Amino acid sequence: MFSIDQFLASPPLSVVISVLLILGCDLIGMLLLRAAGFAVSDHRDWIRWQAPIVGAVLLAIILYPLALVNLTSKLFMQAIAFICLVLGTIHGCRKAVTVCAGRKKPNEYWGMILAQSHPRKLLIFMLLGMGLLAMGPVTSADSLDYHLGIAISILNNGGMPVAPEWFMGRLAGNGEVLNAMALSIGAEQFGSLLQYASLLGIVGIIIFARNAEGRANYYSEGYVPELIALAAFSAPVLLFLVGSPKPQMWPVAMTTFAFALVMHPARHNLSHRNALIGYAMVCLLVMTASQAKFNYLLGGGVVGILAF
C-alpha cells in the first residue's frame, strides 16, 4: 500500500477530518498554554492565536521520538488521530454553540467585515482566500515525493524509513510524522491547514500584540499593523507554501512566537517561576522547529541565545 489513494478519504470528507484535527490541535494548545500560565482569553489575545501551533508541537514531541524507534504503527497513529478528532469535534461544537448564541445573522458578520478599515478588509479577504487554497488537494511534486511519501512509509513500516538511496527522504522531520498521523485516517489537507493556522498565528502576533501595560503595540497608530501584515503575506511564495503540506510556515510560526515571548516588554515584570516557564516554552518551540527543518536551527538558535 504505497499509493496515496489508499490513505485518503473521499472529498469533501478529507477536508472535514482535516479541519477537525486542526481544531483538536487548537484545543490541545489552549490547554497547554493555560497550564503554563499564559492567558488565552479571546480572539484579540495574540497568544490565543498560537494555540494550534503549540498543540501541533506537543503532538510532534510525542510522536517524532516514537517514529525514530519504530513504535508508530498504523493502528497507534489512528488512535492518536482519533483522539484529536474527538477533541476537535467537541471544540468545534462548543464554538458553534457560542456563535449561534450570539444570534447574529450571516449578513451581520458580512457587515462587520465591511465596516473594517480598507487594509484590514484586504487582509481578511486575502487570508480567507488562502484558507480556501489550503483546503484543496495536494498537487506539489515535492510534497507528493517525500512530505507525503515519508508519511506513507511510516504507516507501512511503523517508523521512520531508512533508505539512503532516497535522498529527499533523508530530509524528513517531525512534520512528516504529523502528516502520517493525519493520513492514517484519510486527512489529506491537514498539513496544508497546519501551515495556514501557522500563518494566522503570525498575523495574530502582528495585529494583536500588546505592551506591558496592556495597550496595543507601539506601532499601532493608523493602519501600520495591517500594512505590515499585508507586506509580509502578499509574497507570492506563500501561495505555494500554504497550499502544500511542506512544514515551512509551522517552524516559522514557532520561532516567531518564541521571539515574541523573548522580546515582549512584560517579560521584565515576570516572577522567577513564570520566567522559567517562559524560557522553557521558548526552548520547546525552537528545538521543535529545528527538528522540522534543520535550517531553522539557525534562527531558533539566535532566539534561544537571546532568551538565555
pLDDT in tens, 66-90: 999 999 999 999 999 999 999 999 9
Q: Name the pLDDT band for 212 (thresholds 50, 70, 90).
A: very low
Instruction: Determine what percent of the chain is predicted with pLDDT higher than 90.
Output: 45
Q: Average of pLDDT values for 238-259?
A: 91
State which of 1-5, 119-123, 124-128, 253-257 shows the largest mean pLDDT: 253-257
In this prediction, residue 118 carries a pLDDT of: 80
Residue 44 has pLDDT above 80, yes or no: no
- Residue 210: pLDDT band (50, 70, 90) is low
End-to-end alpha-carbon separation of the chain, Å?
47
In Å, how far from its chain's centre is CA 275? 24
pLDDT at 152 over 90: yes
Mean pLDDT throughout 54-70? Answer: 96
Task: Let me know: does 229 contact 206? Beta carbons within 8 Å.
Answer: yes
In 3D, which of 244, 79, 11 has the Cα closest to residue 71?
79
Amino acid at 17: I
Instruction: Dump pLDDT digits (tens) for 255-306.
Output: 999 999 888 755 656 667 777 888 899 999 999 999 998 888 888 888 988 8
